[in-house]
């Protein structure tokens, strides 16, 4: 009896089947474009930074803020600082006479973890927080106004040939200084305001002095002026009724500090 030959080995049909190549596909897969996000998430303190040291308040003292996404038209990134369309953060610390390196919020690691972790001792976090708070405030104002916010132009006066002439310059960004005012505020009650003002101005640790109604308001260098030193200075000038209490720094203190440079 003749032996049957397997079609997978000996027949022409089987050889053809073995040599057949798989069907080639001509479909191309197009990548879906990734759009730029509308917001970036940045961490900040919800209340006073000192509350993070208290166990009962530590869990509620951190907040993540939804900040409008900004990017430079040329580079597509938020410039270190941060420097965006509305704001320019400049971190110069007069108390320590130094300039801190600007934070780069487009750094991949920071983007992945909603910015730097809140830390009172990290200057870059200070830059991040003031940027987040200011941008959120601007966004709320724009939503209430129904239009884009513009900064007031810079105006100055010159004298040309005996005639006063006003000049005006467009201001694109508002500059923010995270460490413009770094000191301790005190309110000093006394009946001798002028004498007390003159006496306190002689202390090297006193940075700013002013009169606020029936009391003196002063800013001292951090950790350099104690209550005893203030009282001894005033007593030496014949001011025995003075009483000093810690106070909060005001916006006026910030403006005076910036004006003095």
Pair (114, 63) in one structural domain: yes
8 token code pair: 């997978």
What single DSSP character describes residue 184? E
52 lies in the same domain as 119 = yes
Does the predicted TM-score (pTM) go above 0.75? Answer: no
**Is 192 part of any domain?**
yes
| CATH number of the CATH domain containing 234 | 3.30.70.100
**Angle 131-132-135 from CA coordinates, rounded to 5°:** 80
For residue 184, the model assigns a pLDDT of 78
Joined together, the tokens standing for residue 183 give: 């000191």
Which DSSP category does 32 fall into?
P
At residue 109 the predicted structure's pLDDT band, cuts being 50, 70 and 90, is very high
139 with 189, same domain: the answer is: no
Same domain, 73 and 123: yes
- Give the model's pLDDT for residue 115: 92
The answer to whether position 119 is within a domain reads: yes
Residues 132 and 74 in one domain: yes
Does residue 21 register a pLDDT over 70?
A: no
Residue 87: inside a domain: yes
| pLDDT confidence of residue 94 | 66
Does residue 23 sit within a domain? no
3-state secondary structure of 246: strand
Domain hosting residue 230, numbered range: 184-260
Residue 241 neighbours by CB under 8 Å, 6+ apart: 190, 191, 192
The rounded percent of the chain whose pLDDT value lies above 70 is 79
Identify which of 189, 180, 195, 253 has the alpha carbon closest to the alpha carbon of residue 216.
189
2: which residues sit within 8 A by CB, 6+ positions away? none
Same domain, 67 and 124: yes
CA dist., res. 61 & res. 44, Å (int): 9
Is residue 135 located within the same domain as residue 223? no
Is the pLDDT score of 243 beyond 80?
Answer: yes
Indicate the helix (H) or strand (E) that contains 169.
strand 163-169
Please give the pLDDT value at position 260: 56
Q: Look at residue 21 and tell me if it is in a domain.
A: no
113 and 45 assigned to the same domain = yes
Per-residue model confidence as pLDDT tens digits over 175-191: 888 876 667 788 888 88
Is residue 76 situated within a structural domain? Answer: yes
In a domain, 160, yes or no: no
Residues 139, 44, single domain; the answer is yes
**pLDDT at position 6:** 46
pLDDT digits (tens, 9 = 90+) for 146-159: 988 888 888 877 88
Q: Which two tokens stand for residue 201?
A: 């101005």
Structural domains counted in the chain:
2
Residue 219's nearest CA partner among 231, 229, 208 is 208
Same domain, 141 and 204: no
Structural domain includes residue 17? no
Q: Residue 25: what pLDDT?
A: 57
Among the candidates 145, 176, 201, a domain finishes at 145
Strand 154-160 relative to strand 87-89: parallel, antiparallel, unpaired? unpaired
Domain boundary among 116, 145, 174: 145
**pLDDT of the residue at 9:** 47
- Name the band, by pLDDT with cuts 50, 70 and 90, for residue 11: very low
pLDDT score of 247: 78
Domain closes at, from 88, 115, 145: 145
DSSP 87-147: EEE--EETTTTEEPPPB-TTSHHHHHTTSSPP-TT-HHHHHHHHHHHHHHHHHHHHHHHTS
As given in the structure block, the two tokens for residue 42 are 């940045």
pLDDT-derived band at 30, boundaries 50, 70, 90: confident
Q: Do 68 and 131 reside in the same domain of the chain?
A: yes
Are residues 202 and 117 part of one domain? no
Say if CB 261 and CB 255 are below 8 A apart: no
- Which pLDDT tens digit goes with each residue over 33-74? 888 888 999 999 887 676 666 766 777 888 899 999 998 888
Residue 20, pLDDT score: 52
């Amino acid at each position: 009896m003749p032996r049957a030959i397997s079609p997978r080995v000996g027949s022409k049909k089987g050889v053809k089947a073995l040599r057949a190549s798989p069907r080639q596909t001509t479909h191309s897969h197009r990548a879906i474009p990734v759009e730029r996000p509308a917001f970036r998430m940045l961490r900040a303190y919800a209340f006073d930074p000192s509350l993070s040291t208290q166990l009962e308040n530590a869990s509620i003292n951190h907040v993540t803020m939804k900040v409008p996404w900004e990017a430079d038209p040329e580079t597509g990134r938020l410039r270190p600082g941060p420097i965006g369309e509305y704001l320019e953060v400049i971190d110069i610390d007069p108390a320590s006479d130094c300039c801190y390196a600007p934070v780069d919020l487009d750094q991949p690691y920071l983007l992945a973890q909603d910015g730097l972790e809140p830390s009172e001792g990290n200057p870059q976090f200070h830059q991040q927080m003031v940027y987040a708070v200011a941008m959120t405030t601007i966004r709320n104002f724009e939503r209430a106004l129904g239009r884009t916010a513009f900064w007031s132009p810079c105006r100055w006066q010159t004298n040309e040939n005996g005639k006063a002439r006003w000049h005006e310059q467009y201001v694109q960004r508002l500059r923010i200084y995270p460490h413009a005012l770094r000191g301790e505020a005190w309110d000093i009650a006394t009946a001798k305001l002028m004498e007390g003002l003159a006496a306190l101005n002689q202390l090297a640790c006193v940075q700013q002095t002013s009169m606020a109604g029936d009391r003196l308001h002063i800013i001292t260098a951090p950790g350099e002026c104690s209550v005893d030193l203030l009282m001894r200075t005033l007593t030496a000038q014949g001011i025995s009724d003075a009483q000093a209490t810690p106070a909060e720094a005001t916006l006026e203190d910030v403006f005076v500090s910036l004006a003095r440079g």
